[in-house]
């Protein structure tokens, strides 16, 4: 099925470990986003890529890096995981940077840092 695919779905890390969350979309969307969702906090934007070749910080970028590998793929890297990064991470994409036509979300990566 067309959409946004995130891997892995679940991950447990020890404090200080690193990992990369993968995201790929097959809808030929131009813009891609990484969000984290914590109870009662809604969706907070970590980084986004308005178009291939560009990336920008969102609301909560500290502790994260991103790579827009090509038009389809946008990865999120945690260099040294901390317990405060325990969260559910969502990747999303949309056809135009304005978001006028809505965002398609992946099913999420549930990350626990111990």
- Interacting residues with another protein (CB under 8 A): 4, 31, 33, 40-43, 45, 48, 50, 58, 90, 92, 97-108
Query: Least distance (Å) from another protein to the CB of residue 41?
Result: 7
Query: Least distance (Å) from another protein to the CB of residue 34?
Result: 12
CA triple 31-21-44, angle to 5 deg: 60
57, 76 in Cβ contact below 8 A?
A: no
Query: Least distance (Å) from another protein to the CB of residue 80?
Result: 26
Return the bridge partners of 57, or none: 47
């Amino acid at each position: 099925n067309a959409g946004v695919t995130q891997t892995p779905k679940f991950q447990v890390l020890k404090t200080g470990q690193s990992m990369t969350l993968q995201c790929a979309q097959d809808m030929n969307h131009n813009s891609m986003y990484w969000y984290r969702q914590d109870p009662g906090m809604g969706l907070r934007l970590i980084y986004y890529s308005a178009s291939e070749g560009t990336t920008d910080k969102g609301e909560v970028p500290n502790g994260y890096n991103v790579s827009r590998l090509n038009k389809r793929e946008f990865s999120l890297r945690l260099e040294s995981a901390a317990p405060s990064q325990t969260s559910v991470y969502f990747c999303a994409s949309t056809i135009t940077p304005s978001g006028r036509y809505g965002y398609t979300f992946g099913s999420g990566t549930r990350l626990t840092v111990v």
